[in-house]
Amino acid sequence: MKNKIDVAVLGIGRMGITHVEAAKASPYVNKIYGYEPDAERAVLRGKELEIEATSDLDSILNNPEIKLFYIASINEVHAEQTELALRAGKAVLCEKPMGESLAEAYRMVKAEEETGNFLQIGFELHYSKMYMKAKEWIDQGLIGTPVNCHCRYYSSEFHGKNTWRSNSKGTLIGEKLSHYLDLQRWFMGNEVEEVFSMNSPNVVDYFHHPDNHQINMRFENGATANLNFLMYLGETDHTDPLLEVLEKQSDDGHFLQYHIMGTKGAIETDVFRRRIRRWEFGDSPTQLTSKIVETIKYDKSEDQVWIHNTHGQNVRIAELVANGMKPENPVSDSLATMKLGFAAEISERENRIVKLLELV
């Protein structure tokens, strides 16, 4: 017989729905509670999601049957709610970012260290098959030692005017790009030593933060990586029901690609073409040779598990907590990614190279 636990989802908006659906799908979850600070909204969302929802945070913090908190609230309360939950004896999966400052990130780590309770940050790309396969190939030594990694991420503007994301004073580095910086650390298997990041003047004039970032990293072993992001090139998506979204976006200015170069080969992941490829390098009397030796494609029905497997991550977290297991991605590793993001923000503001050792 499986161990079953009650769970709470803090913040039952768009992201919270994903957590509720995962909890409903888990054989390890008994009852689901929801929390929204506004009483009227809590009642409405509870009815829509068919869960018990409240605006009284203390009532669920003090409920001994609730063992796991999924935190999908707005960024500014991530640190506070995580600490409250951990000190109330709960396990926590918190969406990134780890707060809006390095001090808030350390606050979360301190609460985890002092309570000894379960804390994992929602870097669900570690559970996504495309990136798991790339990491598997790297760990098998199929491309030799990784020496550089490039991520090109071009999209349309999809936050909209006068939303909390477009009005946020925090940058997109923590809110969005931390996923892709985290992957680069994971692929390279080494820690970042220094960062130099730049951004050009905005095209999206109603954003209260940069709409583009060019983040360059040097790792302790001399390897390098960069993330080239902008949020306006891709054609605006108005959800045409006659068009399959990724197929259209594969050639309209959208890109989400990694190229991971090693001493013996290379890997490409390509979200909009639904494929991952591997090259093998060789030698000849006249030159270094390169050949594509493996290509994997997948169907659109598998997009979630290949590209952004939040559902799978959240189902797995319930299983870990129900069975008294430890986090699979330590919070210390997530902190290293957040420090990288904060270093990139400092670099842009001060126009200089930032050593990660400065952020202690």
| 72 and 133 inside one domain | no
Residue 54 lies in a domain: yes
Quick one: 283 and 267 in the same domain? yes
Residues 92 and 172 in one domain: no
According to the model, what pLDDT value does residue 166 have?
Answer: 87
| Total domains present in the chain | 2
Q: Is residue 360 in some structural domain?
A: no
pLDDT in tens, 233-272: 999 977 666 567 888 888 899 999 999 999 999 999 999 9
Cα–Cα dist 36/8, whole Å? 11
- Ranges of residues in the chain with a pLDDT under 50 are none
Domain holding 98: CATH number? 3.40.50.720
The span from the CA of 192 to the CA of 353, in Å, is 12
- Is residue 305 one of the residues assigned to a domain? no
Same domain membership, residue 109 and residue 170 = no
**Same domain for 262 and 210:** yes
DSSP string, 313-358: HHHHHHHHHHTTPPPSS-HHHHHHHHHHHHHHHHHHHHTS-EEGGG
98 and 18 belong to one structural domain: yes
Tokens of 199: 């951004």
Q: Is residue 106 part of a domain?
A: yes
283 with 176, same domain: the answer is yes
Same domain, 137 and 37: no
- Specify whether 142 is located in the same domain as 262: yes
Same domain? 91 vs 16:
yes
- Any residues with CB less than 8 A from the CB of 28 and at least 6 apart, and which? 2, 3, 4, 5, 318, 319, 321, 322, 323
Using a 10 angstrom Cβ sphere, with 0-12 exposed, 13-18 middle and 19 or more buried, the burial of residue 259 is middle
Residue 281 three-state SS:
strand
Q: Which domain holds residue 217?
A: 125-297+339-355
Residue 252 lies in a domain: yes
Instruction: Give the pLDDT score at 246.
Output: 85
Rounded Cα gap, residues 109 and 321, in angstroms: 18
Residue 210 vs residues 9, 152, 181, 251, 293: alpha-carbon distances, Å: 31, 17, 17, 25, 39
- Residues 274, 138, single domain; the answer is yes
Strand 192-198, strand 354-355: pairing = antiparallel
pTM for the model stands at 0.94
- For 240, the token pair is 């045409």
Identify the pLDDT of residue 247.
Answer: 82
Q: The CATH number of the domain where 230 resides is what?
A: 3.30.360.10
Task: Give domain status of residue 210, yes or no.
Answer: yes
Long-range contacts from 330-336, C-beta under 8 angstroms, 24+ separation: 331/108, 331/109, 331/112, 331/119, 331/120, 331/121, 332/109, 333/185, 334/96, 334/98, 334/120, 334/121, 334/123, 334/182, 335/98, 335/105, 335/106, 335/109, 336/185, 336/191, 336/192
Residue 304 in any domain: the answer is no
Strand 275-283 with 224-231, pairing: unpaired
Query: Are both 281 and 229 inside the same structural domain?
Result: yes
- Residue 172 in any domain: the answer is yes
